[in-house]
Amino acid sequence: MKYIEKFTFPDLENDNLYHDKPLGSFYDEHTYPFHITSSMGLWSLDFEPVTILYGGNGSGKSTIINVISEKLQARRNSRVNSGPYFSEYVSRCYYQAGEDLPDDSLIVSDGRKHLYDIKDITTVLTSDDIFHWMLEARLNNDKKLNKSRALFREYSAHPEVPRHINFETGYNVDRFLKAAKFQKANNQQRTGYTFNKYLLESIGKMERGFSNGETALMKLTELLEKPGLYLLDEPENSMSCEFQMKLSDVILYLARYAHCQFLISTHSPFILSMQGAKIYNLDHNPVDVCPWWELDNMKHYFTLFHSARDRFLSE
């Protein structure tokens, strides 16, 4: 499935206003993001179900993701580092919707056709989003842990049931209910109501302590379930090799069978080597399409492992 076929960046050399160059103009060569793509000889991107942007730090991968997401008005959590002329640049970009759809306004899911707007089916997920999910999960568990300790201190103090309560005014009602629960927990052998059950009712269930990679993979898989166009900015951050391999399998499956299309910026050899992925090499000027085994990162990996091949083949 291809929701977008082509994205075209501004051709400043042929722009009617370019040669005027008014003072402070966004056509200044140092004005972000003007001239970033043109300086690389990149005028357009042609998309496949999985399209990858490869390049070193500062090569423009995230900028391209941000420009496309702004043009498509994609849903995103992390803010775009846009600058004062970003919207002017985006307004001069163009895209072509996918031609393999039944028509420009339909999406096929579960054998049914649904009306859609491309902005409603396009989602941006960045490495910052992943770090936020991991931090949020840890903070939630820390809060529950601290509250459970406080409740245990209260429980250990064996509060007495107050003798006088007033349901109309609320006097001592909370204290009465809490003390009653504590006493019930104290009689656990007779009632089967343990302190752990009391904690579960009071603060909720503690989430299992997943690793960073597990948390990232689970959250990404959850968000990628629906058909649509997904722009992923270095999603492999904080993932071990094992989880990068699993992520590449998930992406490939969704692209083939679940009506998903992906544009991904990445350094991961496991994502770069996905079968059928189209890779734009931003380290090459002009930017060109390369097979994964011709990328510099891949050659470095090969050199490293080839130099130690006897160690891998010794057993």
CA distance 255 to 277: 10
Q: What are the helix (H) ranges across 157-211?
A: 173-186, 188-191, 195-203
Residue listed under structure tokens 């959850």: 222
Strand partners, 265: 53, 233
> Which structural domains are found in the chain, ordered by start?
4-130+212-306 (3.40.50.300), 142-203 (no CATH)
Task: Report the Cα 40 to chain-centroid distance in Å.
Answer: 27
| pLDDT per residue as tens digits for the range 154-195 | 555 555 555 556 666 666 666 666 666 666 555 554 444 454
| pLDDT per residue as tens digits for the range 92-130 | 899 998 765 544 444 555 455 555 688 888 988 887 776
Positive or negative: CA dihedral 259, 265, 267, 273: positive
Please give the angle made by the CA atoms of 139, 141 and 144, to the nearest 5 degrees: 110
CB atoms within 10 A of CB 219: 19
For residues 259 and 49, is the Cβ–Cβ distance under 8 A? Answer: no
Is the pTM here over 0.95, yes or no?
no
| pLDDT per residue as tens digits for the range 243-296 | 889 889 889 988 988 889 999 999 999 999 999 999 999 999 999 999 999 999
Positive or negative: CA dihedral 206, 211, 215, 221: negative
What the block records as the tokens of 283 is: 């380290």
pLDDT of 146 higher than 80: no
Can you give the pLDDT at residue 271? 95
Between 230 and 160, whose confidence is greater? 230
DSSP for 202-260, written as a single string: HH-PPPP---HHHHHHHHHHHHT-SSEEEEEESTTTT--HHHHHHHHHHHHHHHHHSSE
H/E segment holding residue 86: helix 86-91
222 pLDDT tier (thresholds 50, 70, 90): confident
